[in-house]
Amino acid sequence: AKASPGSINYASAGIATPAHLAGEMLNLLADIKMTHVPYKGAAPALLDVIAGNVQAILTGPLAAGPHIANGKVTALATTGSQRNPSLPELPTIAETVPGYEISQSWGITVPAGTPAPIVKQLEAEMTKVLALPDVHERITRLGVVPATGGGQAFAAFIAAERKRLNDVISKAGIVLAE
């Protein structure tokens, strides 16, 4: 990619999606230039990679996992800060490109103004469910790393990620649709 700027195309589920930001972050930190090819969703993007119409895709294990398992695509690395427990043989991009880390996160939110006792009860119940061995094993097998910490920790994470990713958007010149 470095020797031939722009010669590698990477697919994403669309402009400013996590995959697009992951690719642009890689461009910035590795000082390379891959060309972004936005699609209308991860499925058509992944199908074009399988068909050989696009050279690469940055996507999650839920979308790519079945295609990795059946040999349709080859996983090269993961984007998290640590190796993924469901794919421990794969290095992280950060092992080659220091400072690189991006991952999708899911959280449970409630309407603003929800009484604090209800929020605390929901947090406690979610922590219990995620600690159940069968739930933890199934989630981890899908490539998801369950984390708990409560609403305040999640809000702080979102604020930090928003700041960090807005920097990528700015440096990469990504224009967000209105």
Taking the CA atoms of 74, 78, 84 and 88 in sequence, report the sign of the dihedral they define.
positive
User: Can you count the helices (H) and strands (E) in the chain?
Assistant: 6, 3
Using an 8 Å Cβ cutoff, are 21 and 13 in contact?
no
Instruction: Give one DSSP letter per residue of 2-65, joined into a string.
Output: -SSTT--EEEESSTTSHHHHHHHHHHHHHT--PEEEE-SSHHHHHHHHHTTSSSEE---HHHHH
Q: Which domains does the chain have, with CATH numbers?
A: 9-103 (3.40.190.10)
Q: What is the mean pLDDT of each run of 10 residues along the chain (178 residues)?
A: 86 93 96 96 95 94 88 94 86 96 85 94 91 88 77 88 93 85
What is the predicted pLDDT for the residue at 153?
86
Exposure on the CB side of residue 118, measured as CA atoms within 13 A = 7
What is the predicted pLDDT for the residue at 178?
60
Please calculate the CA angle 18-19-21 and round it to the nearest 5 degrees: 65
What is the predicted pLDDT for the residue at 2?
81
- pTM, two decimals, is 0.83
What is the predicted pLDDT for the residue at 128?
92
